[in-house]
Amino acid sequence: MVHDLTVIFKKYIEYVIMASATHRDFKNRLYAQFARIGKALSSPHRIELLELLAQGERTVESLAAEVGLPIANVSQHLQALRQAALVETRKQGLHVHYRLADDAVAQLCHSIRTVAERRLADLDRLVREHFAHRDDAEAVSMQQLLKRARTDGDVVILDARPASEYAAGHIAGALSVPVEELRRRLRELPKHKEYVAYCRGPYCVYADEAVKLLLANGRHARRLREGFPEWRSAGFPVASGSEPAPPATTRRARS
């Protein structure tokens, strides 16, 4: 009897050890998969590439020109992102176009930025020094702009990004005026209107430059505190194409 109980107990211990080892192996493999994402994001260049792709799909060549890196280097970074399933591709002629694999990737980039903003004092100092000229009291929040766009016909939303990014997606009702074209297109912008300029995000300077030029030429202008990716992630009205669509009151971005 005692012998039988001893055998049963030993078998039970072996089972527990085996089950624990099997679960430990699962946990190791599980977190290894999670770590693939972290490894893919370990390069600052890759994070910047993802933020650019949050504006719309791009070719390797245009991304390389934007970030100031050789095409071969950018291609390697994109391949690392693709292996981690963060980006997808399509081929058109001789060019390969990259895009974010999912809206969750843009949200991931936003989360990384949020954590860095809250926890890294070095980042805070860097931003304050670089944007010392900014007056955040004059910036417009997304909620304020949404309300004004629906109720105030004198508010004009200006998209200061490149035209290709506007065509890929923009705030519904926004007018595409890339910052490099703004000076020669001032005559299209009546002085009695109020202008809100936006661009890629809070660290993009296109909107700042647009507001500065508009103010210097007798227009009332402010910048949107956030950028287009944040607007789209919030589910606010968006559109695509090269022609502005009227601001919607019920249409929301797809989640």
Q: Which residues are catalytic?
A: 199
57: closest CA among 108, 92, 104? 92
| 69 to 14, 57, 60, 61, 99: CA distances (angstroms) | 57, 18, 11, 10, 19
Q: Pairing mode, if any, of strands 194-198 and 220-223?
A: parallel
User: Look-up: residue for tokens 């944007």?
Assistant: 131
Q: Are 210 and 177 spatial neighbours (Cβ–Cβ below 8 Å)?
A: yes
149: closest CA among 170, 180, 178? 170
Q: What is the DSSP letter of 5?
A: H
Distance between CA 173 and CA 248 in Å, rounded? 8
Residue ranges with strand state E in 185-244: 194-198, 220-223, 238-239
Q: Are 171 and 178 spatial neighbours (Cβ–Cβ below 8 Å)?
A: no
With vertex at residue 95, the alpha carbon angle to CA 93 and CA 98, rounded to the nearest 5 degrees, is 125
Q: What is the DSSP letter of 185?
A: G
Phi, psi values for residue 77, rounded to 5°:
-60, -40
